[in-house]
């Protein structure tokens, strides 16, 4: 189903930008996972809006309330339902978009699909706000995976063309991934972070927005995670990652660059390290061969388009009148969502890895 | 499941490179689809090996035998099973790889996952040969979609950096897509096709291989195809496309370029055309907003890594001895698989679009 | 997944007997369904406890709160989440069962399955209380189906051997089904209802409980609803109905009696009625042939075991000590749950019929 | 999907009564299962027609050909596809039914559902012949489960009211189940077997048919198999069992009898046996509480209607003319299918138990 993902751990996200609550139901979670609420709140805070001048001023505490699935703070085998109740609602800001679809948003397509029944306020179910429940699920599962020795972390790889240093695909470590999570603006190179922020502020000043890319790594994966064909790590991660609004591209390892390489360059040759472990000297495959983890770090990169909501006047149409018109989007919007999307990408990866990890336990 | 895909039309691919047969079972196919066998054979032939000097010499007629699901050449509502029986088997060529995993292949990961029970011959279930059943399903569904006014077509966008002309994302037509299918080497620009072929032959001469990219378009899609979140067109197409061996990247519309753009550049502004239809002047979103089709052509690009099987000596390990060694891959291999992958990409798109189109019928 | 059901309309039930809330997420609900809240509350009230002396005294208002999926009282295409917040919690009543599993309950199996992490209070996720969210989903879908001309209704067919009149399998009507819903104790024959109630009170007086059966009918179904094999009406209804706690048997039409009949007796012969409609003179098949609706009323009967929670002293074991012991169950329990289960059976049918009806729309 | 079942092990059945082949694709089968072909052939033979005068004379060798998924006779992790090629086809016998639907068959419903595209010959995809692929899957999985200590076996519990002895629900053993499999006519009590056969022959002599019931047991199940709600053993077994043509009823343990019992009678009290194992003294729950196995034998009973194909003249209609007419069914048909359905019920149970057993491995 559309808003569900997973085979062993099935997650269903519910809510609209301005519904009474948004949340997630997770069925199939192993019993006995102890949830560190403070750590989860910290994870959610990385996504939360309103925390700096690069983000929307809409302030949502994003306080997670567990409705079911926990006993004494541990999962009990029953479906876990967690909700965030919406407090700071300004649906009136969005009334104009009902007839004049915003360029770059789902408004027009959703209006046709659901006809007049669609909820257009704030993007409804298509709102980026729905990544908060994704982060609840991802945050919980990252804690579980961490306990199993698997660490997921990401950084802003670029904003509007300003590029951060890349992960060392062969040697990236859990420590590096975890220390990145402490940063307010998640770049490896702090100077690049400054430049990116300058780009964002410049765009904001121009009533415009910018896009960027996020690079994500998973370390500590056992060999053999993932299934053949459509159950492979690439397919499954893609399914989750493209569920994040604004994602328009995804590549694993060398990705699109591999298309320009010779086989002899791109192939990652095996060797035995000092511990007798089989590894590869390069990692152009991003840790995945045949859809299955191969002992090397799993690496992928995600492209985010610029925030479609911009303050500039834009051309659009009147849906009812079938005439051209213009639109001025009001309300509070992020001039760039890439910095807030970092935990969302981690969460998407966590949801998939945890699901496949359970299949692996039974292999 | 790993080798299955689809909600309304569920396709399961079976077979290994050298199993008695490979094939596909398709459950949920609407009754009454008339299959033009000749057209299907023509579609399969575009993927078939051994037809020119750019491809492997392994000659497989890829003759499709229908085991069930048809009455008088039309689908009858029962699951359709179609098989290709393997005739030209040379499993002896692959015996060495059992202990010495081939770089860039699934051998090592599969060996760990399935332990000694894995079928390593020719890549087993991970073989590119398994794209033939995908093409059976895709070829049938493209015929059905064509009858519904939806046309899918692709071309080689690049080989080893030599780039073909791109699709006009706004104006690409069904006619253009269909005429491309007549070409032996599927490029828009025939001069670029020559250069690409030269690259491939050069790599072959060096006992090496090259990768490339494929651009695919879907025209004639009604507005409203696709579901929110993980059921969106991007997620679903990604799930299918990354199931094709050697795919390492995927982008929709402007894709990774969008990450470098301003919102005001990237947003596709709406206007009403002379027929009162709502359209956009640009198509950076690749015809998809919020996961849903928006009336414009659906456009995506896929990155293929170079064929991992190369004749050059490569470093690898002995799986059993945990020691370094070298490997010379024998057998017949494509110096580039991109030209043969064009119908596979079309087929992957067809499988997803047909599945989502059925959901659309009930909206 | 365990707590999910459905292909087109996927419903996930969450909650435990004493979790902060119980509820349901429904993904895939058609947009534009207007929910009559009062009618839904009336439906929920039929299941609610504490309304008479035949039921537990636990009083739950079962007030439904919609967290998402509605705009102006109509479904908007986004997943609908509805919750009932638990107010009247007495988890202390259940503390003893942690070590001494109650006969006839899931306690022991769940304790082994989820080890010490299981929530045993009130049966946790296995509680009959979780049928309330099923009724939310079913109540909404029955409203939708009613608008499509499909009516679902059930009655108590027996309690502890006292049998109600049966449905006329050929001629049962929507009016009859709807008028049954007005009764406080849902029998066709009010005298039999009196006798059943006497049986229940007698069992209650003996610190015991009784079981019974429920017969359900669906009228107005178009021909062709249901899919072959495991997607047939019987398989799908069974999947839903056996998800209701305490259900131990299910039969369609003549059911187990058919096993004692000749083919010439059991076969339902076709004829054309005065309107030229094809119908059958008997309905031993319960309106289903090959898993598919055949124009006649769909009829099935469900067996409920007696409530396992009884006030009588019972033999059990100490889980930890592995010794025999006895148990006195305290708390408030139904001496019979059959009368409250009538809307649950209707809801289970509604969930399945609605799901299959959507598939039918696209046939 | 309709013809698919399973979460971890997904089985898809394909074929029609007279298609070139019928078969099954099984995705998710653990690697390393060694298939004893002779034992599988023996299992298939128990279902095969034409072996005695109680069954149809249609002789199908039911020779299983493996198309994929095996290496050296062991599963290799890739989807297993097995087919039976149809040799003895007499589709001409069935031509009349195209316009005059057979009472008790899916003809009419399927004709409406798939309109003129339906394959009516021999029931098409609705044919009992499609239980042969189910038996392939079940036969393989029973071998695997046997190696894990889990044994499945069934017997004819009744034919046309003549009842066999019942399983001792508490003490039934693997040995008893396996020895039953050696019998030509699978009853516990051979005298009752004689009487049943007399009933079948009498019905045959009258150009009629009879139904019956099958009781199935699973022993050796670990505690904790099955999931809550719709993932419970009852729901899952029901989904599979009702996929077998002619099944109209299903009950677990005491089943419908439990509806007539007091709670104090029906509850199975726990005790610790001499080995300190927790068991129950009765087994009215059929080894399942809350959908989960509880250490006792799993017991269920299935009702089969009489074979709908009878030689007697029957009333029916002309589909096209919408007029009443009569029908004489020709061809070869079983006067009773219960004796052949015994392995089918075992297979249905095996498919479900194996699937849930894999989930259990990861709990």
Tens of pLDDT, residues C67-101: 999 999 999 999 999 999 998 655 555 566 678 99
By the 8 A CB rule, do A319 and A111 touch?
A: yes
State whether residue D221 is helix, strand or coil: coil
Q: Residues D293, D299, D302, CA angle at the centre, nearest 5°? A: 130
In DSSP terms, which residues pair with B163 in a beta bridge?
B158
Spatial distance between the Cα atoms of C91 and C137, rounded to a whole number of angstroms: 26
pLDDT tens by residue, C152-198: 999 999 999 999 999 999 999 999 999 999 999 999 999 999 999 99
Beta-sheet strand order (sheet of C10-14):
C4-5, C10-14, C21-27, C80-85, C65-68
Type and span of the H or E element at B38:
helix B37-47
Per-window interface: C 21-60 vs A, CB < 8 A: 21-23, 25, 27-28, 31-32
Which of C77, C78, C361 is nearest residue B362 as measured by Cβ atoms?
C361
Largest CA distance in chain A: 72
Range in A81-95, A129-143, B99-113, C327-341 with the lowest mean pLDDT:
A81-95
By the 8 A CB rule, do C115 and A32 touch?
A: yes
Cβ <8 Å between D268 and C103: yes
Burial class (CB in 10 A: 0-12, 13-18, 19+), C34: middle
Spatial distance between the Cα atoms of D110 and B77, rounded to a whole number of angstroms: 9
| pLDDT at site D120 | 79
**b/e per residue B67-92 (b: at least 16 CB within 10 A):** bbbbbeebbbbbbbbbbbebeeeeee
Question: If you average pLDDT over residues A217-237, what whole number do you get?
Answer: 97
Burial class (CB in 10 A: 0-12, 13-18, 19+), A90: middle
State whether residue C33 is helix, strand or coil: coil
Burial class (CB in 10 A: 0-12, 13-18, 19+), A314: buried
Is C60's pLDDT higher than 60?
Answer: no
Chain C: list its partners (3+ Cβ pairs within 8 Å).
Answer: A, B, D
Highest mean predicted confidence (pLDDT) among B121-125, B256-260, D127-131: B256-260
Chain D: list its partners (3+ Cβ pairs within 8 Å).
Answer: A, B, C
Is A91's pLDDT higher than 60?
Answer: no
Cβ <8 Å between B67 and D110: no
- The confidence band for A222, taking pLDDT boundaries of 50, 70 and 90, is very high
Which of A160, A232, A262 is nearest residue B260 as measured by Cβ atoms?
A160
Question: Which one of C68, C121, C358 would you mutate to disrupt binding with A, by most A Cβ within 10 Å of its Cβ?
Answer: C68
D363 HSE (CA, 13 A, CB side): 26
| pLDDT at site D228 | 93
| pLDDT at site D97 | 65
Cβ <8 Å between D16 and B68: yes
Residue of chain D minimizing CA distance to C212: D259
Instruction: Please tell me if residue A86 touches chain C, with a CB cutoff of 8 Å.
Output: no
Spatial distance between the Cα atoms of B226 and B228, rounded to a whole number of angstroms: 7
Residue D87's alpha-carbon distances to A269, B69, D91, D118, in angstroms, are: 51, 17, 12, 22
Cβ <8 Å between C228 and B78: yes
Residue A154: partners with Cβ closer than 8 Å, 6 or more residues away: A177, A180, A186, A214, A215, A216, A217, A342, A343, A345, A346, A349
By the 8 A CB rule, do C278 and C272 touch?
A: yes
| pLDDT at site A330 | 82
Which of A213, A258, A293 is nearest residue B211 as measured by Cβ atoms?
A258
Type and span of the H or E element at C198:
helix C190-205
Highest mean predicted confidence (pLDDT) among A331-345, B36-50, D226-240: D226-240
Instruction: Please tell me if residue A207 touches chain D, with a CB cutoff of 8 Å.
Output: no
List the one residue out of C307, C245, C89 whose CA is nearest residue D263. C307
Q: The complex's ipTM?
A: 0.96
Cβ <8 Å between D110 and B69: no
The first and second tokens of residue C296, run together, are: 């006649």
H helices present in chain D, as ranges: 37-47, 107-114, 131-147, 174-180, 190-205, 233-241, 263-266, 338-361
Cβ <8 Å between C317 and D104: no
Question: Distance (Å) from the C-alpha of residue B189 to the closest C-alpha of chain A?
Answer: 19
Which of C30, C31, C362 is nearest residue B358 as measured by Cβ atoms?
C362
Is C45's pLDDT higher than 80?
Answer: yes
pLDDT tens by residue, C279-321: 999 999 999 999 999 999 999 999 999 999 999 999 999 999 9
Residue of chain A minimizing CA distance to D355: A362
Residue of chain A minimizing CA distance to B100: A270
Which of B19, B65, B69 is nearest residue D68 as measured by Cβ atoms?
B19
**Chain D residues with CB-CB distance to C236 below 8 A:** 239
Residue C3: partners with Cβ closer than 8 Å, 6 or more residues away: A27, A78, A79, C12, C13, C14, C125, D227, D228, D229, D230, D231
Residue of chain A minimizing CA distance to B310: A263
Chain A: list its partners (3+ Cβ pairs within 8 Å).
Answer: B, C, D
- The confidence band for C120, taking pLDDT boundaries of 50, 70 and 90, is confident
| pLDDT at site D360 | 85
Which of C125, C230, C363 is nearest residue D5 as measured by Cβ atoms?
C230
Question: Which one of D5, D12, D108, D109 would you mutate to disrupt binding with C, by most C Cβ within 10 Å of its Cβ?
Answer: D109
Per-window interface: A 184-203 vs B, CB < 8 A: 203
Spatial distance between the Cα atoms of C192 and B13, rounded to a whole number of angstroms: 57
Is A359's pLDDT higher than 60?
Answer: yes
In DSSP terms, which residues pair with A105 in a beta bridge?
none
The more confidently predicted of residues A124 and A68 is: A68
Question: Distance (Å) from the C-alpha of residue B161 to the closest C-alpha of chain D?
Answer: 35
Residue of chain C minimizing CA distance to B360: C362
Spatial distance between the Cα atoms of A351 and A9, rounded to a whole number of angstroms: 8
By the 8 A CB rule, do A58 and A163 touch?
A: no
Which of D78, D228, D362 is nearest residue A362 as measured by Cβ atoms?
D362
By the 8 A CB rule, do C233 and C120 touch?
A: no
Which 3-state string (H, E, C) describes C219-247? ECCCCCCCCCHHHCHHHHHHHHHCCCCCE
The first and second tokens of residue B39, run together, are: 């057209």
Residue B171: partners with Cβ closer than 8 Å, 6 or more residues away: none
Question: If you average pLDDT over residues D67-86, what whole number do you get?
Answer: 96
Is D343's pLDDT higher than 70?
Answer: yes
In DSSP terms, which residues pair with A355 in a beta bridge?
none
How many angstroms from the chain centroid is the CA of residue C254? Answer: 20
Regarding beta strands A247-252 and B247-252, do their DSSP bridges make them parallel or antiparallel, or are they unpaired? antiparallel
Residue of chain D minimizing CA distance to C112: D224
| pLDDT at site D284 | 98
Instruction: Give the single-character DSSP code of C335.
Output: S
Is C235's pLDDT higher than 90?
Answer: yes
**Chain A residues with CB-CB distance to D357 below 8 A:** none
pLDDT tens by residue, D241-288: 999 999 999 999 999 999 999 999 999 999 999 999 999 999 999 999
Burial class (CB in 10 A: 0-12, 13-18, 19+), A282: middle
Spatial distance between the Cα atoms of B85 and B62, rounded to a whole number of angstroms: 8
Residue of chain B minimizing CA distance to C228: B78
Residue of chain A minimizing CA distance to C81: A14
């Amino acid at each position: 189903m559309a808003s569900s993902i997973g085979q062993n751990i099935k997650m269903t996200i519910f809510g609209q930008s301005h519904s009474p609550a948004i949340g997630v139901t997770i069925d199939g979670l192993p019993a006995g996972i102890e949830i560190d609420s403070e750590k989860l709140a910290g994870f959610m805070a990385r996504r939360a809006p309103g925390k700096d001048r690069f983000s929307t001023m809409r302030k949502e505490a994003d306080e997670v309330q567990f409705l079911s699935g926990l006993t004494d703070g541990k999962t009990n085998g029953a479906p876990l339902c967690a909700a965030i109740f919406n407090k700071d609602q300004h649906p009136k800001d969005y009334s104009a978009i009902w007839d004049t679809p915003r360029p770059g948003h789902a408004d027009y397509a959703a209006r046709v699909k659901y006809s007049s029944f669609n909820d257009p306020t704030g993007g409804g179910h298509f709102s980026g706000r729905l990544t908060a429940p994704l982060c609840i699920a991802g945050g919980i599962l990252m804690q579980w995976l961490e306990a199993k020795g698997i660490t997921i972390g990401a950084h802003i790889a670029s904003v509007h063309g300003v590029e951060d240093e890349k992960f060392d695909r062969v040697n990236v470590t859990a420590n590096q991934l975890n220390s990145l999570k402490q940063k307010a603006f998640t770049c490896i190179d702090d100077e690049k972070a400054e430049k990116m922020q300058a780009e964002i502020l410049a765009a904001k000043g121009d009533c415009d927005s910018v896009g960027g890319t996020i690079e994500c790594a998973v370390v500590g994966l056992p060999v053999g995670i993932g299934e053949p064909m459509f159950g492979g790590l690439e397919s499954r991660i893609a399914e989750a990652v493209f569920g994040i609004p604004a994602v328009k591209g995804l590549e694993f390892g060398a990705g699109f660059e591999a298309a320009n390489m010779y086989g002899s360059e791109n192939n990652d040759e095996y060797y035995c390290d000092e511990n007798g472990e089989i590894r590869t000297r390069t990692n152009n495959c991003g840790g995945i061969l045949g859809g299955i983890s191969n002992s090397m770090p799993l690496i992928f990169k995600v492209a985010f388009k610029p925030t479609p909501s911009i303050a500039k006047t834009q051309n659009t149409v009147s849906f009812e009148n079938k005439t051209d018109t213009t639109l001025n989007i009001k309300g509070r919007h992020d001039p760039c969502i890439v910095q807030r999307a970092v935990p969302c990408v981690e969460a998407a990866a966590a949801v998939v890895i945890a699901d496949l990890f359970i299949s692996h336990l039974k292999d």
